[in-house]
Structure formats: C-alpha cells, structure tokens
Amino acid sequence: MDAAIIWSSVLTAAISLLTWTIKSKFDEMQRGNAAKGEEIQRLGILLNRTREEMAKEYVTKAEVHADINRVIDRLEALDAKLDRLMERGVA
C-alpha cells in the first residue's frame, strides 16, 4: 500500500472520531439545557406559589395602621383615666 493512502485513512478515521465525539458532547449539552429550562420553569412555579402563600399570612399596610390606631385610641383613653385619677388624688 502506498503511504499516502494509509495516511489518508488514518486522518479520515481521526477526523470521524473527533466529529462523532463533538456531536455527542453537543447533543449531551442540548439535553442538559432542556433539563435546566424545565428546572427553571418548575422553580418559577414554586416561587409564585410561595408568594401566594406569604400573601395569605402577612397583613397589609392598611390593616396594620387600623390596628395601631385602635391601640393608640385605647392608650389615650387609659391616659385620660389616669389623668382623672391623679386630679382626684391631688385635689
């Protein structure tokens, strides 16, 4: 056999092997990216559910202000009673 034919056969086999390896890695990466995309979508759904659950547990600003105003009103009434008691005791 001629040396050129052997060299061409070796190069053809090496390039074929290299091409096959690169294609396999590329396909593996594509499958990995698809799985990552599905995982990101799943995490997005879980995040939205978490936000909905948190909204059920926490109060709004308006509710907090209403509760604080009720407490302040009670404290003012208690303060007025203490003032009347002090006036009766001092007089």
* Ranges of each domain in the chain: 1-58, 59-91
The pLDDT of residue 90 is 66
Three-class SS state of 60: coil
Q: Which two tokens stand for residue 21?
A: 């390896």
pTM value? Answer: 0.39
pLDDT along the chain (91 residues), means of 10: 89 94 88 80 89 80 94 96 88 51
Tell me the C-alpha distance between 86 and 17, whole Å.
99
Phi, psi of 60 (to 5 degrees): -90, 170
The pLDDT of residue 33 is 77
H or E element that contains 24: helix 3-57
DSSP state of 1: -
pLDDT per position as a tens digit, 34-50: 778 788 888 999 998 88
